[in-house]
Amino acid sequence: MATISTHVLDTASGKPAGGVLIELKIEKNGTFEAIGGGLTNDDGRVIDLLKEEFRPLISGTYRMSFNVEKYMEDTERENYFYPYVDITFRIESPDDHYHVPLLISPYGFSTYRGS
């Protein structure tokens, strides 16, 4: 079964970012509709963000919204620049697994298509 997963790593501390709230959305008619999400575990992972009622995965434009602000506050960072990170991506082969990692620090972030 196709899934959408993520792994959030805090590059400033060199550790996984546990407790990051993530919302998964799909674009429909020019707006984004929530279809799943989760909270990263102690290893910074959410294995499958898609809610059961939105299966099977379909082709389209998706967005993962990460609440980085709460994580930064929970880890007692006084200064940070990005309170939220949105990653928008396309799914053209809905039978594939999609892994979208996020690397965060107080003043930057990066992402890539994982495996």
Give the model confidence (pLDDT) of 101-111 as tens digits.
999 999 999 99
pLDDT for residue 115? 87
Average pLDDT, the chain: 96
Tell me what the mean pLDDT of segment 14-39 comes to: 98
pLDDT for residue 78? 87
Nearest to 19 by CA among 62, 66, 88: 66
Nearest to 72 by CA among 21, 106, 38: 106
pLDDT for residue 37? 98
How far is 58 from 91, CA to CA, in rounded Å? 8
Residue type, 81: F
pLDDT per position as a tens digit, 55-92? 999 999 999 999 999 999 999 998 999 999 999 999 99
How far is 112 from 13, CA to CA, in rounded Å? 20
pLDDT for residue 1? 73
CB 35 within 8 A of CB 25: yes
